[in-house]
Structures are given as C-alpha cells and as structure tokens.
C-alpha cells in the first residue's frame, strides 16, 4: 500500500516524515516545513481572505483556491478522464471521478464497515451514526 493510499485510508493519519516540520501554528496542532504555508494556514484562524476574484468579488484564503475558482468564469477544464473523456477543473476531482471506473473505495466507516469513493461521502454517512441531520 502506498503512503498516499495509507493517508487516505487511515483517519487522522499524520503525513509521512520527510522534511522537518519546524513551523507550527499556535492556534492548532498543525505544523509546516516552511513559513509560507504556515502564513497561508493562519488565514483560516483570522478569517482573512486576501485573494479576490476580479470577475465576481468572491474572496479566498489561498491563491490556489482563487485560481481554481476562476475556471468557473473561463470555462477551463484542463483535466480529462482517459476512460470516458469527461473533463474537470481540478486534478483532485479527476482522481475522485477515476474511482467510478476502477471501483476503488478507499474511505470506510469504522462504525459499520461501509466503504465510500470520496471522503465527503464518508462524512455525510457518519451523520447516520452521530444522529446529526443529513
């Protein structure tokens, strides 16, 4: 099993050790290998959204999120499924879509063992066990 699969399949798993994570967030227990990602992460706690879409005014905490958002306005979908030709705005969405073709369900419920294609499907399912409204 690759470390990427292990990360997806193990709830709460920490990222594999690579470079030392010396830049720690004082608000939560996240740590980073460089100061830039920490600075970007801090926007989550401050609520600051310094990146703004010139087209519609929507604001974002990360520049990458703005770039992905802009695909809405341009219609750009640079990621294409080799199996069926469906196109996507992000590589992550393509990766999730690809599981339709492979049947892979890397996320599972520890409560009942049911498996899911995406983490969001698992999170929605977990409401069944917690009693939270779906």
Letter string b/e over residues 90-129, b meaning 16 or more CB atoms within 10 A of that residue's CB? eeebbebbbeeeeeeebbeeeeeeeebbbeeebeebbeee
Residues 71 and 91 in one domain: yes
Residues 89 and 112 in one domain: no
Give the C-alpha distances (Å, rounded to integers) separating 46 from 33, 42, 87: 21, 6, 35
Residues 58 and 98 in one domain: yes
Q: Is residue 20 part of a domain?
A: no
Q: Can you state the percent helix, strand and coil of the chain, rounding each to 5?
A: 40, 10, 45
Number of domains in the chain: 2
Q: Is residue 108 part of a domain?
A: yes
Q: Is residue 4 part of a domain?
A: no
**86: helix, strand or coil:** coil
Find the domain containing 91 and state its range. 54-103
Condensed to tens digits (0 to 9), the pLDDT of residues 2-36 reads 333 333 333 333 444 567 778 999 999 899 999 99
Residues near 103 by beta carbon (within 8 Å), at least 6 away in sequence: none
Residues 97 and 108 in one domain: no
- Compute the distance between CA of residue 39 and CA of residue 35 in angstroms, rounded to an integer: 6
Backbone phi and psi for residue 133, each to the nearest 5 degrees, phi listed first = -65, 130
Residues 61 and 93 in one domain: yes
Q: Which pTM does this prediction carry? A: 0.59
Condensed to tens digits (0 to 9), the pLDDT of residues 27-74 reads 998 999 999 989 989 998 999 999 999 999 999 998 999 999 999 999
| 58 contacts 79 by C-beta, under 8 angstroms | no
Q: Is residue 72 part of a domain?
A: yes
């Amino acid at each position: 099993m690759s470390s990427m699969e292990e990360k997806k399949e193990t709830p709460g798993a920490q990222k594999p050790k690579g470079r030392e994570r010396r830049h720690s967030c004082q608000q939560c227990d996240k740590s980073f290998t460089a100061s830039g990602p920490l600075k970007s992460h801090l926007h989550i706690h401050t609520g600051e959204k310094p990146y703004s879409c010139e087209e519609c005014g929507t604001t974002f905490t990360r520049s990458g999120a703005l770039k992905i958002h802009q695909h809405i306005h341009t219609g750009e979908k640079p990621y294409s499924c080799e199996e069926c030709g469906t196109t996507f705005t992000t590589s992550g969405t393509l990766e999730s879509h690809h599981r339709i073709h492979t049947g892979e369900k890397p996320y599972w419920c520890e409560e009942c063992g049911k498996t899911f294609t995406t983490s969001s499907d698992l999170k929605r399912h977990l409401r069944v066990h917690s009693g939270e409204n779906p």
